[in-house]
Amino acid sequence: MPRNERRSNDVSIDFTVRDAAGKTWTLSDHLDSAAVVTFHRGDF
């Protein structure tokens, strides 16, 4: 297993942020499929 990798089978998560149109976006509204949430360095 690579470094900094983990599997978790008993943790539920949700969060609310803004999309690129400035609208409120909540993860749980998009979980009829799986979500692959990828974190970016930013300041691009």
Question: Interface residues with other proteins (CB under 8 A)?
Answer: 2-23, 25, 27-28, 30-44
* Structure-block tokens of residue 3: 């470094």
Half-sphere exposure of 23 (CA within 13 A, CB side): 4
Supply the minimum distance, in Å, between the C-beta of residue 3 and other proteins.
7
Supply the minimum distance, in Å, between the C-beta of residue 29 and other proteins.
11
Supply the minimum distance, in Å, between the C-beta of residue 27 and other proteins.
7
| Residue 16: strand pairing partners | 26
- What does the DSSP 8-state code read for residue 43? -
